Structure 1
Amino acid sequence: MSFEGWGPPDPIGNLRSVSMVKFHLEEEDLADIEESTSSDEEQNEEDEAEAATTPSSTDRKIAVSDSAMNSSTSSLPPSARYASIMIPAASSKGRGGGGLPTPTPKKDRKKTRFSSMKKKKQDSPARERPSEGEAWPARDALSFTRSLVFYGQGSITEEHTTACQYIQKARAMREKYYGSTHTNISNSDLLTSPDLQFEMGKDGVAVITHEDENVITVPSIEDFISDYQSLVEICSDGAMRSFCFQRLQMLTSVFKMHITANGSVEEAAKSNILGTDFYRTMKVDNHIHLAAAATAKQFVMYVKSKLQNEPNTVVLDEKYGDAETKTLIEVFGDSGLEDDHLTIDAFSVLADHTVYQRFDNFNSKYSPFRMSKMRQIFLKTENCLRGRYFAELTKIVLARHEASKGHNSAAEMRLSIYGMERTEWLQLAKWILRDWRNDDYPGPVLSSHNRWMVQVPRLWRIYYKKGGRAQSAEEEKRSFQGMLENLFCPIFEATLRPEENPEIAELLTHIVGFDSVDDEGAAEEPFDCTRPLEWTQEKNPAYCWQLYYLWANIEVLNVLRKSRGLNTFAFRPHAGETGDTMHLAATYMLCPCIAHGINLDRQVSLQYLYYLDQVGLSISPLSNNFLFRKIAQNPFPKLFKRGLNVTLSTDDPLLFHMSDDALLEEYSVARASFDLSMTDMSEIARNSILQSGFEDSWKKKWLGPNYSKGITHCDETKTHVPLIRAKFRAEHLAMEHLLVHLIAAGKGREVLQEMMVQFGLARDAHRNILLNSFSEVPSFPEQNQL
């Protein structure tokens, strides 16, 4: 009996090589089974080597779920479409509890032809099959009950072949954009030349030239629209939806079976991981907006301290465009507010029923006491204080992450660049990098436990109405091209000429990604090929259209920065919170991760694609509960059980959270609401690190030195995720990939016939073990149905 397997692919990275476990039982194997084992030392060494590839019958007990099956191994009746094989492998000491089963005494070996298989010291090690010629790593064996599905007649159809071919086509589209396979570099040697020139092209995409040669090109808006429309058609196809729905349902079922069979084993394995627990495990808040990063309690306490300690500080000044000059105490006095009035309720920042399905009311909650000047004083970087109050409040939040009060956590906070003026980048850089010497937290607004992201609000209408100036020859037209120039020209110039733009160049080293934010449900124009220079109407451009131009410019910028040894940026927009579900098709093509994504439960084709490519979803159930989806209807537990790359984040602690630790509150509410185990919680925390933009050195510290090889290589002593859970996830992801590849290649029926044969053999083996292992079992009517 041979056991063939290939190591699972990296479920976060390259998924082209996939795996499947397959049993072979042949005549020569049966002959070998009847032979006695050699007792000399050389034979023992051979046994150890074979243990890495061959499970013994005492180590594997095969139980077949109810499926009436003909004893013939050459075919199956049409009714037996699916059969699940549960394979509980014996645990070795130290990881699953218990020891290897006691070998059958020699005098009893003739009771069954399988009982005399060679005794193995342990099961095969777990992380992956070693390279040719290398030995298995020295570690404890992994053992848990596995559930394999053997497919019967009629389970692979022509519709399935069509669906799998569509899946391959969709994944090729993602490779074209997110995978950069169609990003062309005319001459890579020119990218480091000091003579490179930059301009914003007339098509809205940055142009990097050397002697009039465009060095970097990306797929055009016409290409993107064509591919996007093709993807929408693919996802809407009936065969595609049926196949993806079936696969997702089976992933849900197999997780339930895994928890039923291995829940206690996982908990025991987790308990044996000494020196760590959920609280010590690092958790990254991947989705948090800086203006609402402080909780309501922190904000109220900070404002009260300023009113008590700095009542005469000038906070409004005519020189900075304010209507009149006033001190802090005067601002509160004019509003009829005194120190004892400063309560959380009075501040009116916590979300309530008025914000449900009302993004406009939600945005007004950012203004304490419903007064915009309070927001200007405390939550803005541009005011007569140069944003000092905002910097101090931000440092209070960052200090809590650094101090690891209650648990280990980090964040990726969003800074806003609106594209209204080209000076925004320089102003933001000065605010971040300024040495704030007169507060309790001196130094710049930087932290080892935070990485900055830049969010670009989709505020074209405000730009059109209020005075963004298009930096072009036709300023009065205020085209969308002007916004793009304000957004990207300063950072391209800082990348090409850092000595001329030192503040912006330094700021970019602390930024890990870009986000696109605002109300997805807002009315928008159709998705077409209009150039940004031609978009001069007041109506909002399509969401997907705006995403393309952000992605295209970031893609060019990344190629340029990578060639110069500089950090690059991920594109991780808000998507799938509300509005058109097919926004998620655009982000599937363009992005490694997104914020929200709860609309995936309304589109099974996209959901399965997100699973296969492990596109990250940073979901905020408490935010969703107040804004768009009540917590009882939140799809987070469904997506998690199916194996999508999901994690938890806070979004806006100022509006949605009551405790001092918003991220821990998010995890606590999710655990109680979705019935999550502590293993689930640790897995979700691990996903937050994988999705984050923290540098590789930090990820190695939090996940283990070999984390980039795949989730089975993450260090359990750091993630607190038992290897059983990681292996379960990796195996099923690999099998889904292999299944899709085989069916798409037209080999489904051929593989199905072979699997039917192998299932019959495994079924016979299981039956014989049951019937022959204990002769005292009384006869029963259903015995002949085994």
Structure 2
Amino acid sequence: MAGTPTQAEMPRQFPKIAQKEEDEHVRIIAEKVFASALREEDTKDALSLFDVAADCPIGKKEATERELQKEIAEQQSDTTAKRKKSLRLIRSHSLSLQIPTCDGTVSLISPSLSPQTPIQNVPFLGIQRPYDVPEFQRVTITGDYCSGITVEDYEHAAKGLIKALFIREKYMRLAYQIFPRTTGQYLRSIENERWREEDEVLPDFHPTPRDGEDPYDLSDAPGNLEYVARMRDGIIFVYDNKEMLELGEPRSLPYPDLQTFTLDLSHVLALIADGPTKTYCHRRLNFLGSKFYLHEMLNEMAELRELKGVPHRDFYNVRKGRQTFHRFDKFNAKYNPVGASELRDLYLKTDNYMQGEYFARIIKEVSHELEESKYQHMEPRLSIYGGSPSEWASLARWFIKHQVYSPNIRWVIQVPRIYDIFRTKKILPSFGKMLENIFMPLFEATINPKENRELHLFLKYVTGFDSVDDESKHSAHMFSIKSPTPGEWTREQNPPYSYYLYYMYANIMVLNNLRKERGLSTFQFRPHCGEAGSITHLVSAFLTADNISHGLNLKKSPVLQYLYYLAQVPIAMSPLSNNSLFLEYSKNPLREFLHKGLKVSLSTDDPMQFHYTKEALMEEYAIAAQVWKLSTCDQCEIARNSVLQSGLSHKEKQHFLGANYLKDGPEGNDIRKTNVAQIRMAFRYETLRNELSFLVDAVKSTEINMPLD
């Protein structure tokens, strides 16, 4: 394999879902949410279905009155009393497994329960391991269920959130994308199973060539598998040979069928507008922010002492990943030197009359500076537009001819959402042809690398795909099972955001599984998402994306924000770019997201446009630290997150973060390399486990209280 730990064989077929009667109800709710999101784009100040009235006195008074009436009704219910008793027993069991001992390890001793106690059948998670961490002050809230809402609403919200996490886990596993260990362990406990490390699925990135190895060596291309690839309904299928193609029997490579995806999408869309779930998530997020404030107040000096004890390490010499985005939307005019687009083509293109020579010089200069600084890595974007299948061969030739490889650079391919421009100019007959131009050369290079040596070599240093354009351009079309197939999409209007994401993700999934069979590197899907436009973009990304860029609109939906926290979805944020385009710096939610525990990192966006120095990434960190008073530990935590979500290989991450970086919590942190305090890592780990245990306890309580047949 290309450089990750050995993993067990994964399921080969994407599990399909048959539509049920209740799913039709969910679909209707999802359509209402989609319509609400469109209205919210047009009337920015309107309160949407997925938001919470946090500062409306009348709304707060009415909501409080409703909650009071529910509480009074609960007190008079015998059924509720029994459910509360079950929850109390379950919570006592969960807390006993989480309470740290005086030496900083986690207790493994279960409470003494009577034989009649129903909690005895709840399986031990198998995840509480002792870890070494300095003593610090912990904030713990005890009680029946600690959610501030009724038992019925609590259980209802927990079921919906758990279902959404199961949905994301399914999509991540089958595409070789990352799903957090801790969350996966709690999901296995619901299924009465133990989480096993050998079942974990990870992306596979090509390691950097060793000293003395030629990064442009074309001689190691594997042979021809003689497979046949054909696009059908927007997804490329792979056949063993022409006979199997004629029989219509493709290889067993997983892909998400359209009905399953749209049904899963509808479930999450309906969830973000569900009243009890919104209330629960809103309160939990407020609690997370307050809990971090208390942690910081109680332990700031302890964290600082811990960092001071690490010799020869500070924020400046920890590894920092940097994504460099380049726009191809309405802001492109700002890139034109002295207003001439021809100069942009001359300086910033790979396929001009100079064969991209000037652009290669710029890349080499930046690469040299990165290698000199040692502690920064970059993931610049290169564009594939889908106008012609020859774009890939041209890009690979540029890479090899100008020798732009650097150990400090990994490449991400961005696909601008500009089908409407191609169609208007009659360059493409349909959206399906655009998809074929983007993905068919990759399948051909994977099936027969010897005939596609240059592209095979270039793909070693490509780690993912991005979907880019101005998100504020909205489409009134809701992606559903009734949507035209890509081959049928011949209109001049652009398909909606979720349509782009589904077909890109589906083809990346099939491609990754084919490449994994060959022992080749895989790709992550890392779209621009949530910078502007509809909140529904973030729902589509929750299903399909390994990580996202920007994510500003998460602040509009407490349910989505909480789900992104529970699933630890990485978010690369660029507040300086946002400040110029969409959101004032002081209103950027990065600091709020960081405090709550979302997996955020800082990144540059269009450094030639928005930054004033050659050290664009350090500019982002310096301004964020000054404006938001970020501590050294905060900055190093953000830097560690950036390396985790990057396309660096397994060996490189082990070198930069520590040998056990795949483990969650303090056990996976090497403070000598990351400069992140073990106290901070323990706080994040224990807090996430606490939030997940609330959901698992509610689901277990529901099972216990189900009436017997």
Give the aligned partner of residue 240 of structure 1.
277
Corresponding letter in the other structure for 1:721: V
- 1:723 is matched with 678
State the distance in 1 between where 2:665 and 2:566 align. 15
Question: Could you tell me whether the CA contact under 8 Å between 1:742 and 1:748 is conserved in 2?
Answer: no
Match of 1:623 in 2: 577
Confirm or deny that 1:144 pairs with 2:122: no
Indicate the larger mover: 244-253 or 396-405: 396-405
Q: Secondary structure at the match of 2:465?
A: strand
Partners in 1 of 2:606 and 2:702 — Cα distance? 49
Cα 1:155/1:466, change in 2 over 3 Å: closer
Partner of 2:163: 169
Is 1:381 equivalent to 2:343 in the alignment? no
Aligned: 1:365 with 2:402: no
Secondary structure of residue in 2 paired with 1:515: strand
CA distance 1:569–1:128, shift in 2 (3 Å): farther
How far 1:523 sits from its partner (Å)?
3.2
SS of 1:383's partner is: coil
Distance in 2 of aligned mates of 1:223 and 1:601: 28
What's 1:205 paired with?
A: 235
Q: Are the structure 2 counterparts of residues 136 and 363 from structure 1 closer, same or farther at C-alpha, using a change threshold of 3 Å? A: closer
Matched, 1:495 2:525: no
Q: 1:630 to 1:496 in 2, by over 3 A?
A: same
| 8 Å contact from structure 2 (residues 601, 639) kept in 1 | yes
5+ residue gaps in structure 2? 1-80, 92-99, 110-123, 178-221
Larger proportion of helix: 2
Query: Percent of aligned pairs with the same residue?
Result: 39
Name the amino acid aligned to 1:288: T
Following the alignment from structure 1 to structure 2, what is the Cα–Cα distance between the partners of residues 747 and 684? Answer: 38
Code of the aligned partner of 2:334: K
Indicate whether 1:452 and 2:411 are aligned.
Answer: yes
Q: CA deviation at 1:749?
A: 11
Q: 1:557 to 1:633 in 2, by over 3 A?
A: same
For residues 127 and 638 of structure 1, what CA distance do their matches in structure 2 show?
Answer: 31
Confirm or deny that 1:123 pairs with 2:71. no
Residues 1:284 and 2:321 aligned together: yes
> What is the alpha-carbon distance in structure 1 between the residues aligned to residue 548 and residue 107 of structure 2?
29
Q: How does 1:581-592 map to 2 (within 5 A)?
A: 581-592=535-546
- The match for 1:194 is 225
Give the equivalent residue in structure 2 for 1:411. Answer: 378
Q: CA deviation at 1:141?
A: 5.3
Q: Indicate how the Cα distance of structure 1 residues 126 and 577 shifts in structure 2: closer, same or farther if over 3 A, else same.
A: same
Say which of 421, 424, 435 aligns to 2:388.
421
Q: Which amino acid aligns with 1:412?
A: E
Q: Does 2:622 correspond to 1:668?
A: yes
Q: 1:284 to 1:124 in 2, by over 3 A?
A: same
Q: 2:173 aligns with which of 164, 174, 179?
A: 179
Classify 1:264/1:372 alpha carbon distance in 2 versus 1 (closer, same or farther; 3 Å): same
Deviation at 1:274, TM superposition (A): 1.1
How many residues matched? 543
| Structure 1 vs Structure 2 CA RMSD | 3.2
1:182 and 1:219 in contact (8 A); partners too: no
Which has the larger Rg? 1
TM-score by length of 2: 0.72
Aligned residue number for residue 78 of structure 2 = none
Residue pair 1:192, 1:563 contacting (<8 A) in 2 also: no
Q: Secondary structure at the match of 2:701?
A: coil
Q: 1:124 to 1:640 in 2, by over 3 A?
A: closer
How much has 1:466 moved relative to structure 2? 2.8
Match of 1:365, SS state, is helix
CA distance in 2, matches of 1:670, 1:128: 40
Q: TM-score, normalised by structure 1?
A: 0.65
Equivalent residue runs for 1:228-377 within 5 Å: 228-285=265-322, 287-289=323-325, 360=330, 362-377=331-346
Deviation by residue 1:67-121 (Cα, 9 ceiling, x = unmatched): xxxxxxx99x9xxx99xxxxxxxx9xxxxxxxxxxxxxxxxxxxxxxxxxxxx9x
Q: Name whichever of 377-386 and 258-267 sits farther off.
A: 377-386
Q: Which ranges of structure 1 fall in alignment gaps of 5 or more residues? A: 1-73, 83-90, 92-119, 184-190, 293-358, 437-443, 471-477, 751-786
Q: Give the Cα–Cα distance (whole angstroms) in 2 for the partners of residues 631 and 620 of structure 1.
A: 10
Evaluate the alpha carbon distance shift between residue 227 and residue 667 of structure 1 in structure 2; reply closer, same or farther with a 3 A threshold: same
Tell me the amino acid that sits aligned with residue 162 of structure 1.
H
Q: 2:133·2:682 contact (CA, 8 Å) conserved in 1? A: no
Question: Counterpart in 2 of 1:556?
Answer: 510
In 1, Cα distance between equivalents of 2:572 and 2:549: 5
Moved more, 267-276 or 596-605: 267-276
- Cα shift at 1:152: 5.0
* Whole-angstrom distance in 2 between the partners of 1:508 and 1:453: 10
Correspondence list, 1:8-19, <5 A: none
Shift of 1:192: 10
- C-alpha offsets along residues 682-720 of structure 1, whole Å, 9 cap, x if unaligned? 000000011111000110011000111124221001000
Name the CA distance, whole Å, in 2 between partners of 1:698 and 1:181: 22
Q: Judging changes above 3 Å, is the alpha-carbon distance between structure 1 residues 492 and 271 closer, same or farther for their aligned structure 2 residues?
A: same
SS at match of 2:316: coil
